[in-house]
Amino acid sequence: MLKIIQLLVLNDNYIYLIHDEISGETAVVDPALAEPVIDYLAKQGWPLKYVLNTHHHLDHVEGNTALKQRTGCTVVAGQTDAHRIPDFDIGVSEGDALFLGQHKIKVMITPGHTTGHVVYYFEKDDLLFCGDTLFVMGCGRLFEGTPEQMYASLQKLKALPAETKVYCAHEYTQANGKFALSVESDNQVLQDKLQRVAELRRNNLSTVPSTIAEEIATNPFFRTESLSIQKNLDLVGAEQVDIFTALRKRKDVF
What residues act catalytically?
55, 57, 59-60, 113, 132, 170
Contact assessment for residue 25 and residue 47, using Cβ atoms and an 8 Å cutoff: yes
Closest residue by Cα to residue 80 from 128, 30, 121, 117: 117
Helix ranges (DSSP H) in the chain: 35-44, 58-61, 64-71, 147-158, 173-183, 188-202, 212-218, 227-232, 240-252
CB count within 10 Å of CB 121 equals: 21
Cβ-based burial of 112 (10 A; exposed 0-12, middle 13-18, buried ≥19) = buried
List Cβ neighbours of 45 (8 Å cut-off, separation of 6 or more): none
- What is the C-alpha separation between 92 and 83, in angstroms, rounded? 13
Angle between helices 147-158 and 240-252 (to 10 degrees): 110
Contact assessment for residue 134 and residue 168, using Cβ atoms and an 8 Å cutoff: yes
Q: Which string of DSSP letters, residue by residue, matches 22-90?
A: TT--EEEE--S-SHHHHHHHHHHT----EEE-SS--HHHHTTHHHHHHHH-PEEEEEGGGGGGSTT--E
Cβ-based burial of 127 (10 A; exposed 0-12, middle 13-18, buried ≥19) = buried
